[in-house]
A = this chain, B = another copy of it.
C-alpha cells in the first residue's frame, strides 16, 4: 500500500485555482464543496495533487476541469504556499493559480471529487478549508492591482460586449464609479479592442455597438 519510498521525506504538492467571474453585479469566486476528508463538507478552492509526471499548470487545468467542468482558461501562477501545518494530513505545498472567465462561458458541473460547485461573492465567502481564504485574498489583491496596469479585466468579457458592460466590470472590481467619457477614451486608444460591426438593441434606448478583444488571452501591460 505504501509503495513509493524515498531516502528523505517528501512533501506532497498540489495546485489550487482561484477562478473569478463577474456576475449579478458582483465579483465572484468559484468554490467546490469537499467530498472527502479533511474538511469534508467545507467549501474550498478547486485543486488537487500534482501527478508525478505532470506539469504544474497541466495539473491545475486538469483539476479544474475534473472538479468544476471549467475548461480552456488562461491560468496565471499566483504564489506558492507552503507553511508546514497548512494541511493536517501531511506536509502539503500548493502552487496557486488564478484566472478570469466570462460569466456565461460554461455551465458548472460537480464531478467526482466535489459534492457541489458554486459561485460566491468575494465579500460573502463561506468559511473555507485549509488556508484558502488567504489564497483568495492574495488573488483578489493581485487582480485589483493588475486592473491598473494591464488589460487583464478584458478576460472577463464574452466574445461580444458593449463598452458599458466593460465599464461595469471595472466599477464592480474597483468598487467605485468610473467616468464614462474618460473610460471610453482610454479603452478605444488601446489596440486590442475593435468594433465587431454588430449592435445590441435591448430596451427603449439607442442600440449599443458591440466590441471584441482582438487578441484573447494576451494581457497587455500598459501605462
**A interface with B by C-beta (< 8 Å):** 1-13, 49-50, 52-56, 77, 79-80, 82-84, 91, 93, 95, 149
B6 touches A4 (CB 8 A): yes
Are A4 and B5 in contact, CB atoms less than 8 angstroms apart? Answer: yes
Bound state CA distance, A8 and B1, in angstroms?
9
The complex places the Cα of A180 from the Cα of B2 at a distance, in Å, of 65
With both chains docked as a complex, state the minimum distance between the C-beta of A152 and any C-beta of chain B, in angstroms.
Answer: 15
Whether A79 lies near B77 (C-beta < 8 A) is: yes
Q: How far is the CB of A188 from chain B (nearest CB, A)?
A: 24
The 10 closest A-B CB pairs, nearest first, are A10-B10, A9-B52, A56-B82, A2-B5, A5-B5, A4-B9, A80-B80, A4-B6, A53-B84, A80-B95
Bound CA span A207–B55, Å = 57
How close is A150's CB to chain B, nearest CB, in angstroms? 12
Q: Which residues of B contact A8 (CB under 8 A)?
A: 4, 12, 49, 52
Q: How far is the CB of A221 from chain B (nearest CB, A)?
A: 8
- Using A54-B84, A80-B95, A82-B50 as known contacts, say yes or no to A5 and B7 having CB atoms under 8 A apart: no
Tell me the bound Cα distance from A204 to B5 in angstroms.
69
Q: State whether B2 touches A6 (Cβ < 8 A).
A: yes
Q: How long is the Cα–Cα vector from A203 to B93 in the complex, in angstroms?
A: 55
User: What residue of chain B has the Cβ atom nearest to residue A81's Cβ?
Assistant: B56
The answer to whether B77 touches A55, judged by C-beta atoms less than 8 angstroms apart, is: no
Query: Which residues does chain B contribute within 8 Å of A5, judged by CB atoms?
Result: 2-6
From residue A201, how far is it (CB to closest CB) to chain B in Å? 42
Contact of A83 among B9, B55, B77, B95 (CB under 8 A): B55
Contact partners of A83 in chain B: CB under 8 A: 55
Bound-state CA distance A55–B80 (Å) is: 11
CA distance A39 to B12 in the complex (A): 26
- Other-chain residue from B52, B53, B93 in contact with A13 (beta carbon distance below 8 A): B93
